[in-house]
Structure 1
Amino acid sequence: MKVSEITPFIGAELSDVTYEDFERREVFDQLVESLRQRELVVVRGLELTPHQQIKLATRLGKPVPFVLEKYRHPEFEEIMISSNEIRDNKPIGVARVGNFWHQDSTFVANPAPYTMLHGVNVPSTSGHTLYANAADVYERLPEEWKRKVAGRTALATVSKRLRIRSEHIGLSVAEFRALIDIEHPKVEHPLVREDPHTGRPYLYGAPEYLDSVVGFDANENEAFFALVDELVQDPDHVYTHRWTPNDLVIWKTATTYHCATEVEPGVSRTVHRISIESGE
């Protein structure tokens, strides 16, 4: 097995490795250590059955069944199918997911710490995934803003990105917003955290999942959100993962900003996703 740095700011790639290799303790430990230190691990061309993907995820923690049953794998509830493919006149998965910069599930009190994707049917020309390191983002904050956010908390919300479902038809805008507040109440998180494995401080929150920073006025929130977007999306600090068949990608949800890009028309794409709760 070979381990190489993907970029100076995020990512490690493991090559010349098979699923059977990961059954050896020292090989799996190298994957875990690379993940802890580099936020993101890519294993190119790793052939996995859904059952094997779940077994690998279980060694990191506890795979969590996806919240929407209709997008779960028909045999494995822990796998969410992200796909634009249609079979028997029905979508086999959710076609558009995560196409904005975010950290996974910051709008809940205790987000799962790991996400795992396996590229089942992936084009090389579109449908890339972009990644940025939240510790790197914090380091690039101007000193003035580091002082302003020190010790502060922020309110996270899913309201900006909540999908309208059939049961919401007929509701007024006010009624829909009130329902969101009931079903998805805002949660409060520290805005700056320290990674337990690297010791690096990192920014916890993306504007699309943030309501406000506690203690900031409207102008300060607007300015801060614009700054975070600028820093996260800086091309010199973004890794673009161009998928190849059977790629396995795992990341730490708290420290990894990411964004899915569009799939070109007429091209199919299917990825199996597992959210992994902590096993520590």
Structure 2
Amino acid sequence: MTAFRRALGLPGLIDVHTHFMPERVLAKVWAYFDAAGPLTGRPWPITYRGDEDERLARLRSFGVRAFTSMIYPHKPGMAEWLNGWAAGFAARTPDCLHTATFFPEPDAARYTTEAVEAGARVFKSHLQVGAYDPNDPLLDGVWGLLQDAGLPVVTHCGSGPVPGPHTGPGPVGALLARFPRLRIVVAHMGMPEYGDFLDLAVRHPSVRLDTTMAFTDFSEEKAPFPAGLLPRLRELQDRILLGTDFPNIPYPYGHALDALARLDLGDDWLRAVCHGNAGRLFGIG
């Protein structure tokens, strides 16, 4: 990974899709993956287990200079508590971009406002795990706030690895019709509806996509990225961001970088995706 960065002349990597969360929550997430639960659809061994300090040291050793703590609730009453934890984590972890989340519930706009005021720089919306419609009226105040604040929302809205009741391009497309300036970051390149979400990005200049797990051998086996769409990746070079899902990945971190390199889209593309685009989005030089 050092050779990858040096060859591109990068000061480091910016990974917009990494998971740090309360230990007991992470333990439950790992147990779900270990059991190959219904939302994973297949065996999913976790490569980077270990305590928080070990995981932080490992991520930094890969040359990652900024990352996120993607947290997400699966029911009401969780989001505000997760936001409190994430604020503390960001305060003690300067290279972590302060992350927050929300859920459709009556006080969502209140605690989202508080998270923004506390310095949150990126939000997570997990439509698959949360099984909620992003157009739920309980979230209108949240989306309006985040649109006005210009804060990115990393959104698992594609139907991979298995569909949810509100995944796919339709719900997010409807959301963007109502809030056209939202800085949605489509997680996993919108897997497996790659083309539909690339179309959405073309229609909405504020939309970005992250590379999380896309193009890897693990994902190509079940949801291959169509070769005919590769020119679209070059056209949207300035709006694709590196994401990995660390530590919850079933392969080494370096494979995610190798998977990007083997797309053969050029060094300028790799530099933009692995650092430059996120650097501009978050003001990281």
State TM-score, norm by structure 1: 0.27
> Which structure exhibits the higher relative contact order, with contacts defined as CA atoms closer than 8 Å and separated by 6 or more residues?
1
Greater helix percent: which structure? 2
State TM-score, norm by structure 2: 0.26
Structure exhibiting the larger radius of gyration computed from Cα positions: 1
Greater strand percent: which structure? 1
